[in-house]
Amino acid sequence: MIAMVMKLDKRIEEYIGVCGICCLICPAYNTMCSSCRKDPRSIECAIYKCALERGVKFCFKCSEFPCKTHYEEHVFSTKALNAWKEIFEELRSTQ
């Protein structure tokens, strides 16, 4: 059973981009993005490239999330980014 769950987790992870969005429901998938987890050309994506350079699997694991790259790439709305920024700053201040 555990092996089956781990296999499922791996398959699901293939469709969760470094940005944190599930590719299968993302409007950019198959138009602007082909899933950074599955496509070796993903290095062209500024968000994916940034995550690689910083050594994080997901952007929200980075100490600078949300960063300038998120605001510039417009994957998320500015309102959402500002809300996350506030939440993450509060979380970091309590650690």
| pLDDT score of 24 | 83
| pLDDT score of 10 | 66
Lowest mean pLDDT among 25-34, 44-53, 74-83: 25-34
pLDDT of 84 higher than 80: yes
Distances (CA, A) of 41 to 1, 18, 46, 62: 34, 14, 11, 22
| pLDDT score of 8 | 52
pLDDT of 76 higher than 60: yes
Give the side-chain half-sphere CA count within 13 A for 29: 17
| pLDDT score of 40 | 63
pLDDT of 6 higher than 60: no
| pLDDT score of 55 | 93
| pLDDT score of 12 | 72
| pLDDT score of 68 | 92
Helix (H, G, I), strand (E, B) or coil at 88: helix
